[in-house]
Structure 1
């Protein structure tokens, strides 16, 4: 579906004339056959991406043709001489852009999972052109006139419920993005979006640069306190960096967190902490502060063209919160209790730190929190980790999906479908009763150079039925530290929760049952509901008893240890809640502030001071590395959505617990 996708879709500057497309018909057909990024997906399971044939050299020509073809499709819809109807306008738009959809899947992998300096140069060249293309669609007056006609008619003579919703979303998507502006103002709006697209790309690549280049190496003599499993992975990471005999802490959360939790060497903890929380804020050519200021200024300028006072007001109009005040009020309701709990946690930690004449600093928080956990609950996180083996947890995900959705996951043999890296594994997903194919699930679990940090889910193909039923191709991506050859992957409890969380997004895609592509998602502050709900099954007795097994002996986790885990379930929640809330509040405050002369670092310090942010911990995402908000528009003024969804999750969890069987 192009009307909504075009707002953020990757694209290139193309010629919009239908006659020009036809004059190059033979060349275009040859390119479609020759360029793997444009070719129809072949093979079983409804066809799968030819990841094994990806080549960076194919990117620019693929998008040049895909955009040219798509503009021709859009022009044909806009210039249709027949009266506008749902079928000849909305459905026609839903059908358009198939080449673009295919090429975009490869682009997403090359930018998120396999980025390289060579590809980043291509990105920098293409991103502004992508924006220009989107503006051509959004600014097509004839097209919007037809959309508005269908919308107005649907208000008088309602369509089927799903069709009515598609029409509403298409119309609102265009209206929110300047379709009703005059020609001169549309040009200004398009110019702003073009500049923003380049800034978003620069912001993301600056973070990736700092993640790749700020690596902490240490020796055996500096390894005190660190568990053997971590050291094996750190040794493998160092070897990969050309430092045999050393250990490496790569600049990702999955590596940083355990190091700060267990490392006795305080100076190294400080270095690792500073590397991680200084990403994008090192005062060099990769510093993001200037990008942030310009992004905020341009966002305000573009919504001012639409008649809105600030970006948050514009963005939240079609979300559950509706207005910024509702989101802010929810965050601020929770804030006082969260920081009060942090003060209690710090007091407990300081009693232990006092013995070493140490005042708790941010790089000490995890380390001393772990000591308090052991003292209060006799719970050692590293002992828990021995029962959190990745392969077992993957089986747990599949078990939960089977119980809740009647899905069956069957691993595919290596080579059965193409993958873009040997680490990627694929499962077939079927209905456990009928055997009907639902789709495929891809998992890319390990950190590597060129892969963006964090964990995320995406879909290579979404479910639709309006052109025949399409099978889903869904994926999960993580950044676990890859173990040494022959070793098993052990992850933390937090990482296990995140694994379940992201799998919730994948299940959302796999369980979709809609006719039209536009209906495959939901409003932004609802989309975290499914993922946060799924986290709750990690702590169920069935999952614990079946899948939390010791990685060496295979014995189930002792009941006494499970009891300690559950007893300590809310331990350190002051830290977790406060670091999240601080980021969510900062997101909103930045977009409500006057950005004219805004200094992001100064604004961050002053805002946190007004909030009485405890000095012993940082925000989860400091502003210069807040990719959710500044590497695109997806989570801008939307980071509050995790808390919003958590309120919904609490109610839904009760419904599952009270259902027959109580699972």
Structure 2
């Protein structure tokens, strides 16, 4: 028995997701019914007696399956932000059904015939740029995913996709279970030496919540990061660092080594089946970077600039640790600790000094104020729409004329059912249909320190930039103004999607922006300007090491997915160690392995795409230089960015959109200047 309300437009305010009305038992039957309805819509397109046209084939295809998309977004977002064993079990049942349905569409000969007929006549159709983009995208979604394969190969493709959908889920489940499993209970106050009061209070509160005496630390970032950054006990830093680095790498029931090898082999096999040399070649065909060769050239060019700086910084850090504590060899569990001490020495700056100025509520309002000054957006907290957890805040977003722009959800604190990290997602896309501009429902999810009995949630500066980063993604979703849902918001090339998020981080370093929200949570005083200057001065601290680290992750991703013979890889650890050989600074630790918990590329959508963070940094540094030239709240530049980037989604080639905004292609020198790797 299914709930009819879940397969029709929701009878809710703003058509928002009815979270509290959905029971776990509703999902599977609802998915099956929604797939059935979507198949019926596809059949209507195929059996249309009229000749294939853009409207009756391409447009109809893009608007099909709306309720399936809605229920999928609700379910899989909850599987990331508020999961449990029942939801995970349903995900394992549902994913193969969705994979099969996706294959049913792309491998449907009659449907492809209609799509191809429209595509072959595109030069006679007088289409808009957006319509041309949609037509190209639809045609490629068939041609790149098996429509031209022989029947036996189509069956093989279906089997591969089914396996991959389940393996990716299992990979993520294991990482979450490993994160939740580790607990480090400290019972001696002396072992807390060096830790800030806020971290100790949060740990005590967490222990009490689990009926334990002492201080409890976990692998959730708000618990883990302060510990490795401030705890004087080198042994305990080592213990928690090795626990974080060995997630799903213990040869037990939660181990991901075989999953990594199988995912990589299946992706390679799939790419070969479709006529591509590797998975990376398949993916990058639809990216700004275009080929693995270009990604490697770009990465190695940055590596050449960053590595000497990183080695100098590391040597300097080693010498500092030696002089301070007679440390002979700097290990992974020493990096954050001595970096923080060195930063304090060089800049008289540490996060504990800054945190009182970054109360979560103030930072949220700061992000809203920046969005208002740039894009005329207004945010009103509302309490009359449903949420999936009591921590989730909800906002109505309007423009200067009071028109609805978006519904916005914000979920900030860690919990057992929520994976680590921070991300933006959508519960409903924006699109224009029958003359109505249907507005999006956007969400950001983070893992910040929870309020304690004596203090509100106070953010580290890194958490401030994280919030602005995800809010930048959210603005990309909120300000979408396209006709078709598949081209809307963040539906852009993966190496372009990080531009709006990364560019917004820049405002966190600017006096003019910080004055809007960085006020002391007790006194109300604005952050002193000497602290603002120190934030700016320290912005490039250890930039060489940070760049090297980020490049190493991208190169690991490209190595896994650009490998032409993955079946010969027998050991995840041995392979990874070899790849890291040219970018590693710290001594190797046999207990740790990054790949087994590298969720971005093995569970999320970043396979062959992790380089895009650095790629987008080139764009964002160049873009922000434009803002700096004209003023960081200059309306003319902000409107250009909104009209040519944020509102356009994937309606045109990303470089075309960027050049419309900037008037030129991005110059990498802007990034190198900002990183301190190139002098002005």
Q: TM-score, normalised by structure 1?
A: 0.91
- Give distance in 2, aligned partners of 1:293 and 1:171: 31
Q: Is 1:481 the equivalent of 2:432? A: no
Whether the 8 Å CA contact 2:314–2:545 is kept in 1: the answer is no
Instruction: Select the residue among 422, 427, 436 that pairs with 2:403.
Output: 436
> Helix, strand or coil for the counterpart of 1:554?
coil
Q: Show the counterpart of 2:361.
A: 391
1:620-661 deviation digits (Å, cap 9, x = unpaired): 9921111111114x2110000111111111221122222367
Q: Displacement, 1:225? A: 0.7
Q: Displacement, 1:93? A: 1.4
Q: Displacement, 1:662? A: 5.3
Whether the 8 Å CA contact 1:575–1:617 is kept in 2: the answer is no
1:450-473 deviation digits (Å, cap 9, x = unpaired): 101110001111211123211221
Whether the 8 Å CA contact 2:306–2:544 is kept in 1: the answer is yes
Q: Is 1:56 the equivalent of 2:24? A: yes
Q: Show the counterpart of 1:228.
A: 197
- Give distance in 1, aligned partners of 2:30 and 2:633: 51
Aligned 1:411-450 pairs, distance under 5 A: 411-412=381-382, 414=383, 416-432=384-400, 434-450=401-417
Q: Is 1:629 the equivalent of 2:597? A: no
Q: Show the counterpart of 2:426.
A: 459
Instruction: Select the residue among 101, 114, 128 that pairs with 2:96.
Output: 128
1:399-426 deviation digits (Å, cap 9, x = unpaired): 11101111001111x3x11111110001
What is the count of residue pairs matched by the alignment? 624
Whether the 8 Å CA contact 2:374–2:633 is kept in 1: the answer is no
Q: Show the counterpart of 2:645.
A: none
Aligned 1:153-302 pairs, distance under 5 A: 153-219=121-187, 220-243=189-212, 245-302=213-270
Q: Show the counterpart of 1:410.
A: 380
- Does the C-alpha gap of structure 1 residues 462 and 424 become closer, same or farther in structure 2, counting only changes over 3 Å? same
Instruction: Select the residue among 326, 335, 340 that pairs with 1:357.
Output: 326
Instruction: Select the residue among 338, 344, 353 that pairs with 1:368.
Output: 338
Q: Is 1:589 the equivalent of 2:563? A: no
> Helix, strand or coil for the counterpart of 2:26?
helix
Whether the 8 Å CA contact 1:37–1:106 is kept in 2: the answer is no
1:597-625 deviation digits (Å, cap 9, x = unpaired): 3121110011112x15212599x992111
- Give distance in 1, aligned partners of 2:40 and 2:49: 16
Mean CA deviation greater in 339-348 or 106-115: 339-348
Q: Displacement, 1:347? A: 2.4
Q: Show the counterpart of 2:64.
A: 96
> Helix, strand or coil for the counterpart of 1:229?
helix
Q: Displacement, 1:552? A: 2.1
Mean CA deviation greater in 75-84 or 480-489: 480-489
- Give distance in 1, aligned partners of 2:495 and 2:333: 32
Q: Is 1:545 the equivalent of 2:512? A: no
- Give distance in 2, aligned partners of 1:148 and 1:239: 63
Whether the 8 Å CA contact 2:381–2:394 is kept in 1: the answer is yes
> Helix, strand or coil for the counterpart of 1:443?
strand
Q: Which runs of 5+ in 2 are unaligned?
A: 635-680
Q: Is 1:640 the equivalent of 2:608? A: no
Q: Show the counterpart of 2:626.
A: 655
- Give distance in 1, aligned partners of 2:214 and 2:499: 42
- Give distance in 1, aligned partners of 2:512 and 2:31: 48
Instruction: Select the residue among 129, 138, 155 that pairs with 2:106.
Output: 138
> Helix, strand or coil for the counterpart of 1:283?
coil
Q: Displacement, 1:149? A: 0.9
- Does the C-alpha gap of structure 1 residues 60 and 662 become closer, same or farther in structure 2, counting only changes over 3 Å? closer
Instruction: Select the residue among 279, 297, 300 that pairs with 1:332.
Output: 300
Whether the 8 Å CA contact 1:339–1:614 is kept in 2: the answer is no
- Does the C-alpha gap of structure 1 residues 407 and 616 become closer, same or farther in structure 2, counting only changes over 3 Å? farther
- Give distance in 2, aligned partners of 1:167 and 1:263: 56
> Helix, strand or coil for the counterpart of 2:380?
strand
Q: Show the counterpart of 1:606.
A: 578
Q: Displacement, 1:327? A: 0.8
- Does the C-alpha gap of structure 1 residues 617 and 253 become closer, same or farther in structure 2, counting only changes over 3 Å? farther
- Give distance in 1, aligned partners of 2:483 and 2:411: 29
Whether the 8 Å CA contact 2:57–2:115 is kept in 1: the answer is yes
Aligned 1:513-592 pairs, distance under 5 A: 513-520=481-488, 521-592=491-562
Q: Displacement, 1:491? A: 1.5
Q: Show the counterpart of 2:371.
A: 401
> Helix, strand or coil for the counterpart of 2:447?
strand
Q: Which runs of 5+ in 1 are unaligned?
A: 1-29
Aligned 1:14-163 pairs, distance under 5 A: 31-33=2-4, 37-44=6-13, 46-163=14-131
> Helix, strand or coil for the counterpart of 1:428?
strand
- Give distance in 2, aligned partners of 1:128 and 1:455: 27
> Helix, strand or coil for the counterpart of 2:395?
strand
Instruction: Select the residue among 329, 335, 346 that pairs with 2:314.
Output: 346
Whether the 8 Å CA contact 2:423–2:470 is kept in 1: the answer is yes
Q: Displacement, 1:292? A: 0.7
Q: TM-score, normalised by structure 2?
A: 0.89
> Helix, strand or coil for the counterpart of 1:475?
strand
- Does the C-alpha gap of structure 1 residues 121 and 344 become closer, same or farther in structure 2, counting only changes over 3 Å? same
- Does the C-alpha gap of structure 1 residues 268 and 60 become closer, same or farther in structure 2, counting only changes over 3 Å? same
